[in-house]
């Protein structure tokens, strides 16, 4: 579409809402840091002075998800849905011409909420780490109180009191304070909630086990699991989901510093297990270990799904086409696979087995945080499974290959994909909302 005005003629189309959702998702654009018009090569020499980059950027993609009726005027805000917004100048504008625009707009309300959730996730993942610090991330989530979400932020003192020393150890080399953010949507009465848990490493150098320089700039996306959880919670609030869902995200930065944890350190998790840190670049599972246990202890969830850009090994196994699914419950695994297929997001179930536990046995502690290269994504999942209470249905989704794919996809331009928002919203609809 470029910056054109496009009219879609679909008067008799039975799935106008899905069509408009697809157009919105593919039309996303993140150009916050491109000066205009100089970045497009249109400015005369000396005519444009680049603006100073912002130090905190608010979510700005929402207008792309809005749907107007055929009058060209902003639609009236729905009583329980997102309000329409006039398209931004210089952006593509799409008009859908149909026989019953009011009915089509009502049908598209949930799609608009989903698009905004996906865009929120994409915005977070696309942001640079000098903007999306742990504090800025937490502030953006706190702002979702306006949507009806209950949001609270746990600071380092509270995390220490709770015993989250595995999480705190990851962030102790950074100037950015570690935080845990809890988001709650209570739309389902007294039912036990679904817990969504996300890894939120806003930048990952690897710590003392430092990563190679090549490609490290993409480690701004290592908070992708937390970004997906945040996007799902936003979508659920906007569409007023009739379910109870809690989102818990651990926000840290993994930096090398005189205070940073070292290979060989031993730390105690909130659960009480002692963890030998053999590789400080296996940090995401340390964060998840504590917040998985916290989510179960506090909320007694009906099921737990965690998301994380956890391992490069999953990219070796599945490339950038599918996320890796590890699950201790066949029913939950089947529901997630069905939801992902329905929403066009690739997922593939990977194995869990006690034999892999041998690779992460520690000579000095209860467990070590890495088993090395063999079966790297599986041993990471086995590590996480240790922090799941017996009898709790649990799924771990490794999104390292799909959160920031190297090229455009059917429903996303090149950049952050927002993978998982549609799938998890579908899971909530199919399993946790009344029929």
Catalytic residues: 211, 285
CA 35 to chain centroid:
27
Q: How many angstroms separate the CA atoms of 410 and 346, rounded?
A: 12
Residue with tokens 């840091």: 33
Distance of alpha carbon 178 from alpha carbon 68, whole angstroms = 41
DSSP state of 108: T
Query: What is the residue-wise DSSP string for 250-274?
Result: EEEEE---TTS--TT-EEE-SSS-E
Instruction: Report helix, strand or coil for 229.
Output: helix
DSSP element (H, E) containing 144: none
How far apart (Å, rounded) are the C-alpha atoms in residues 105 and 75?
Answer: 9
Please give the full DSSP string across 287-324, using - where no structure is assigned: HHHHHHHHHHHHH--SEEEEEE---THHHHHHTTT-EE
- C-alpha 336/C-alpha 322 separation (Å) is 13
What phi, psi does 426 have (nearest 5°)?
Answer: -65, -40
CA distance 348 to 398: 10
| 206-231 core/surface letters (b: 16 or more CB in 10 A; e: else) | bbbbeeeeeeeeebbbbbbbbbbbbb
- Among residues 422, 29, 399, the alpha carbon closest in space to that of 200 is found at 399
- Name the 3-class secondary structure at 346: coil
- What is the torsion angle, in degrees rounded to the nearest 10, for the CA atoms of residue 305, residue 311, residue 317 and residue 321? 60
Q: What is the CA 425 to chain-centroid distance, rounded?
A: 12
> Which residues are within 8 A (CB) of 327 and not within 5 positions of it... i.e. 6 or more apart?
333, 336, 349, 352, 393, 394, 395, 396
């Amino acid at each position: 579409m470029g910056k054109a005005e496009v009219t879609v003629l679909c008067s008799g189309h039975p799935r106008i809402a899905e069509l408009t959702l697809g157009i919105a998702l593919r039309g996303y654009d993140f150009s916050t840091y491109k000066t205009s018009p100089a970045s497009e090569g249109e400015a005369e020499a000396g005519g444009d002075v680049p603006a100073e980059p912002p130090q905190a950027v608010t979510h700005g993609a929402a207008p792309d998800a809005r749907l107007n009726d055929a009058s060209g005027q902003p639609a009236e805000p729905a009583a329980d849905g997102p309000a329409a917004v006039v398209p931004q100048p210089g952006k593509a504008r799409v008009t859908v011409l149909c026989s019953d625009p009011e009915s089509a707009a009502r049908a598209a309300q949930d799609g608009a909420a989903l698009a905004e959730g996906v865009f929120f996730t994409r915005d977070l993942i696309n942001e640079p780490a000098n903007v999306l610090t742990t504090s800025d991330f937490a502030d953006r989530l706190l702002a979702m109180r306006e949507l009806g979400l209950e949001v609270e932020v746990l600071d380092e003192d509270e995390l220490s009191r709770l015993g989250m020393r595995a999480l705190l150890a990851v962030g102790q080399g950074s100037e950015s304070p570690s935080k845990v953010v809890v988001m709650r949507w209570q739309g389902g009465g007294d039912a036990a909630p679904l817990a969504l848990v996300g890894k939120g490493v806003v930048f990952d150098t690897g710590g003392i086990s430092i990563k190679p320089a090549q490609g490290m700039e993409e480690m701004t996306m290592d908070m992708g699991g937390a970004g997906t959880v945040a996007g799902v919670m936003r979508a659920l609030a906007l569409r007023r989901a009739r379910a109870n869902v809690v989102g818990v995200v651990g926000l840290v930065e993994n930096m090398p510093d005189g205070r940073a944890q070292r290979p060989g350190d031993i730390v105690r998790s909130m659960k009480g297990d002692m963890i030998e840190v053999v590789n400080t670049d296996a940090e995401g599972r340390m964060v998840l270990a504590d917040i998985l246990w916290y989510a179960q202890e506090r909320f007694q969830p009906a099921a737990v799904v965690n998301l994380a850009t956890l391992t490069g090994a999953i990219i070796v196994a599945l490339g950038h086409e599918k996320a890796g699914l590890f699950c201790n419950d066949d029913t939950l695994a089947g529901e997630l696979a069905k939801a992902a297929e329905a929403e066009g997001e690739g997922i593939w179930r990977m194995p869990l087995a006690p034999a892999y536990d041998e690779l992460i046995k520690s000579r000095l502690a209860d467990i070590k945080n890495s088993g090395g290269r063999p079966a790297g994504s599986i041993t990471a999942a086995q590590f996480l499974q240790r922090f799941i209470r017996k009898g709790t249905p649990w799924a771990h989704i490794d999104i390292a290959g799909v959160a920031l794919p190297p090229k455009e996809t059917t429903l996303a331009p090149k950049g952050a994909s927002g993978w998982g928002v549609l799938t998890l919203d579908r899971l909530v609809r199919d399993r946790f909302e009344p029929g």
